Amino acid sequence: MKRYGAFISEESKALLTNVRNFVDKEILPVRVQLDESREACEEVIDKLVKMGMQRYGLAPKYGGVQIGSAVEYVAVCEELARGDSGIATEMTCPEWLFGPAMRARNKVVLENLMSPFCSDERHTACFALTEPAGGCNGEDPTQRGMALKTIARLDGDEWVINGSKRWPGGAGIAEVYGVLCTTDPSLGEEGVALIYVPNGVPGLSFGKPENKMGMRYSDINADVYLDNVRVPKEYRLAGPGQDWKLFRAALSWGRLSSAGFAIGNAQAVLEIVIDYTANRFYKGKAVREHTLQAAMIADMAIAIESARAYYLSVASMFDRKEFGDPGEPYLMGKASGAKVYACDVAEMVCNRAMELMGAYGYTKEYHVEKYLRDFKIIQIWEGGGQLGRLEAAMGYYPIP
Ligand SMILES: Cc1cc2nc3c(=O)[nH]c(=O)nc-3n(C[C@H](O)[C@H](O)[C@H](O)COP(=O)(O)OP(=O)(O)OC[C@H]3O[C@@H](n4cnc5c(N)ncnc54)[C@H](O)[C@@H]3O)c2cc1C
């Protein structure tokens, strides 16, 4: 585990070694199959669930397993994504979805909706933020939730929700949905509500799974329709103002883990290139031994290591109270910056790898094309590079 340097504790090393061994043995050999069927993905996910990864990050009181540190968590994201970032996404989604409820100590949500995830049976979670009119609208801090079109109204002891979501991972197959909505758009952040909705309630329905470039079966994306969906009032995360803050913190965690996902893809590609270019020759020498190509490989490695050091450094700030809450502009700016940079690095690494490998880099046999297709959505989701840069700037000065 030298890769994570002095950031990682001895306990975290053991976990990361387990995850890496699992990825080497159970994911790397079936990468092509994962791209071809949901069944292949579920087979791998079931093994990860049995290994305890579904419990990872969920509250121990309910049978979950405590995260050692934010540093450990993002390194786990990198290790899983080195195998397949769609599977990494599905495995870490329960923590992402229920993280806000754990921080809010919402017992009803934790007992009724989260506790089934603390088991050795596969369960799927879905965090539904994006709306048809634009994913960035709900996430943009300058819009303060005012552009959200999904509306929740309190009727007695129940929330009644109307609206729709587009693209969330796990849509249609998940047992629990975290729906970002507003009680009144004119209230801004005070109106923002995060409401947990169990699958099967009347009025909740789904579109067909989207046909995508990457993460084709490992992350299932579809429309979510909410037509007078009713849930108990306790299924709202916390309350006016608090939901916004907790949502912003979840977004910041999501951006940080996305940096780990992107570097997991880049690391996998670097390993492929180093192997391939050892066995391909021109002018009597392995491709990687020519100074021209060695310099290209060095640039890829340097970029990966600097992006990793960046995200680990931000994660270490998440671990210490003195840097504030992850949802506040300082850490949000850092997490967004780490994601933007990691994705730019992953893009450069995939492009260079294809150049170094010639036509073979373009074939399914060597998997570089898979990582290129998969990583691209990591760059786009959760606000993309543009909103990410806006938030990185907002870590330094306010933008109204
Ligand atoms: C495989 C996959 C998985 C996904 N998983 C999830 C999920 O689990 N949950 C979920 O809710 N969504 C999910 N999404 C949706 C994803 O997060 C959004 O697609 C993404 O946030 C961008 O939103 P958009 O596509 O509507 O683009 P738009 O918001 O329409 O953006 C278009 C362009 O305008 C820019 N832009 C728009 N608004 C702003 C702004 N305010 N500031 C700066 N730039 C701006 C964008 O950066 C982009 O360049 C997923 C999508 C895919 C494909």
Radius of gyration of the chain (CA): 21
Task: Tell me, yes or no, whether 320 lies in a domain.
Answer: yes
Same domain, residue pair 182 and 54: no
Same domain, residue pair 39 and 134: no
| Tens of pLDDT, residues 7-32 | 899 889 999 999 999 999 999 999 99
Same domain, residue pair 148 and 73: no
Task: Tell me, yes or no, whether 383 lies in a domain.
Answer: yes
Ligand 1 center–CA 109 separation, angstroms: 27
Q: Give whole-number Cα distances, 332 to 67, 247, 307, 326, 379, in Å.
A: 20, 12, 17, 6, 16
Same domain, residue pair 112 and 130: no
Ligand 1 center–CA 112 separation, angstroms: 30
Q: Whose CA is closest to atom 20 on ligand 1?
A: 381
Same domain, residue pair 201 and 249: no
Same domain, residue pair 236 and 247: no
Q: What is the rounded CA–CA span in Å between residue 208 and residue 121?
A: 25
Chain center to CA of 31: 19
Ligand 1 center–CA 340 separation, angstroms: 14
Greater confidence, 136 or 97?
A: 97
Ligand 1 neighbours by CB, cut-off 6 Å: 127-130, 134-136, 140, 167-169, 212, 215, 219, 221, 377, 380-384, 386-387, 390
Q: What pLDDT was estimated at residue 1? A: 77
| Tens of pLDDT, residues 158-181 | 999 999 999 999 999 999 999 999
Q: What is the rounded CA–CA span in Å between residue 11 and residue 400?
A: 43
Q: Which distant-in-sequence residues (6+ apart) come within 8 Å of 347 by Cβ?
A: 375, 376, 379
Task: Tell me, yes or no, whether 212 lies in a domain.
Answer: yes
Nearest-atom number in ligand 1 for the CA of 140 is 41
Chain center to CA of 232: 28
Judge contact between 147 and 134, C-beta under 8 A. yes
Same domain, residue pair 370 and 261: yes
| Tens of pLDDT, residues 52-93 | 999 999 999 999 999 999 999 999 999 999 999 999 999 999
Q: What is the rounded CA–CA span in Å between residue 182 and residue 76?
A: 33
| pLDDT > 70 in the chain, percent | 100
Q: Which of 85, 146, 167, 389 to mutate to test the pocket of ligand 1 (most atoms within 8 A of CB)?
A: 167
Ligand 1 center–CA 52 separation, angstroms: 31
Nearest to 122 by CA among 87, 72, 74: 87
Same domain, residue pair 308 and 216: no
Q: What pLDDT was estimated at residue 136? A: 85
Look at the chain and report how many structural domains it folds into. Answer: 3
Ligand 1 center–CA 345 separation, angstroms: 20
Same domain, residue pair 275 and 251: yes
Q: What is the rounded CA–CA span in Å between residue 356 and residue 310?
A: 26
Nearest to 263 by CA among 319, 334, 367, 344: 344
Same domain, residue pair 133 and 51: no
Nearest to 131 by CA among 157, 165, 158: 165
Q: Whose CA is closest to atom 16 on ligand 1?
A: 381
Q: Give whole-number Cα distances, 24 to 79, 83, 268, in Å.
A: 10, 8, 11
Ligand 1 center–CA 387 separation, angstroms: 9
Greater confidence, 195 or 10?
A: 195
Q: Whose CA is closest to atom 37 on ligand 1?
A: 136
pLDDT averaged over the chain? 96
Task: Tell me, yes or no, whether 399 lies in a domain.
Answer: no
Ligand 1 center–CA 136 separation, angstroms: 5
**Res. 269 pLDDT band, cuts 50 70 90:** very high
Question: SS3 breakdown of the chain: % helix, strand, coil, rounded to 5?
Answer: 60, 15, 25
Q: Whose CA is closest to atom 36 on ligand 1?
A: 136
Ligand 1 center–CA 167 separation, angstroms: 9
Same domain, residue pair 259 and 355: yes
The residue segments making up the domain with residue 369 are 243-394
pLDDT mean over 280-299: 98
The CATH number linked to 281 is: 1.20.140.10
Q: Which of 136, 194, 210 to mutate to test the pocket of ligand 1 (most atoms within 8 A of CB)?
A: 136
Task: Tell me, yes or no, whether 377 lies in a domain.
Answer: yes
Residue 135 has pLDDT above 90, yes or no: no
The CATH number linked to 38 is: 1.10.540.10
Same domain, residue pair 373 and 232: no
Where is the domain boundary, 214, 240, 266?
240
**Res. 294 pLDDT band, cuts 50 70 90:** very high
Task: Tell me, yes or no, whether 57 lies in a domain.
Answer: yes
Where is the domain boundary, 222, 240, 258?
240
Q: What is the rounded CA–CA span in Å between residue 217 and residue 51?
A: 21
pLDDT mean over 219-229: 97
Where is the domain boundary, 195, 216, 240?
240
Q: Whose CA is closest to atom 32 on ligand 1?
A: 134
Nearest-atom number in ligand 1 for the CA of 219 is 1
Task: Tell me, yes or no, whether 400 lies in a domain.
Answer: no
Task: Tell me, yes or no, whether 306 lies in a domain.
Answer: yes
Ligand 1 center–CA 330 separation, angstroms: 22
Residue 141 has pLDDT above 90, yes or no: yes
pTM of the model: 0.97
